[in-house]
Structure 1
Amino acid sequence: MQFQSALAIYMLFWTLTVFLVLPFGVRTAHEAQTDLVPGQAESAPVNFNLRRVLIRTTIVSAILFALFYLNYVYGWVTPEMLDWVNHPQ
């Protein structure tokens, strides 16, 4: 696998992982028992920490990419294994 291809696939994993990690650890004003700022939605997070989200995203996406790359190298799951329509009897 070329470096550019691996980087592109890693970036896809990273982008997907952002949306998976984003909701974890978020507390609303009601949950934190603080007052709402005028105009603030009730579902808005109280203390959003972007650094924590980026670190979690990088760790999870690195693990997922490592699993993907190991599968690419060792062939644990192949396209033929996933072909349920034309599966030989």
Structure 2
Amino acid sequence: MTLISGLVLYAVFWFMALFMILPLFVRNQEEAGEVVPGTSPGAPDEPMIRKKLIWTTIAATVLWIVVFLVIESELISAADIASLTGRPD
């Protein structure tokens, strides 16, 4: 894996993790019982962005390390994937 492909793969994992983690543990203002005037009742009460960004980074890093080790150890090669799809090498 080259440096650029590693960075791109990490970015993909990071954004996927971010979009999965963002909706977790969100209470809207209506559920909290305190709607700020001029905002939507569905707006988050406390979005906890900093914690979510930290958890996103941890999740993406762990996943990237696992995939990196699988690729570098050649546990699964491109030929293995080609044989699963039925395409010739």
Q: TM-score when scaled to structure 2?
A: 0.77
- Unpaired segments ≥5 residues, structure 1: none
Structure ranking higher in helix proportion: 2
The count of corresponding residues between Structure 1 and Structure 2 is 84
Runs of 4+ residues over 6 Å off in structure 1? none
Change (3 A) 1:82 1:55: farther
* Partner residue in 1 for 2:37: 38
Cα distance, 1:29 vs. partner? 1.8
| Letter of the 2:57 counterpart | T
Q: TM-score when scaled to structure 1?
A: 0.77
Looking at structure 1, the residues matched to 17 and 63 of structure 2 have their Cα atoms a distance apart, in angstroms, of 9
* Partner residue in 2 for 1:21: 21
Equivalent residues in 2 for 1:1-89 (5 A)? Answer: 1-32=1-32, 34-77=33-76, 78-80=80-82, 82-83=84-85, 86=86
How big is each residue's C-alpha offset from its partner over 1:52-79, in whole Å with a ceiling of 9 and x where there is no partner?
1110100010111112112212344441
Looking at structure 1, the residues matched to 39 and 55 of structure 2 have their Cα atoms a distance apart, in angstroms, of 27
Change (3 A) 1:81 1:20: farther
Identity %: 32
Q: Which moved more, 1:11-20 or 1:54-63?
A: 11-20
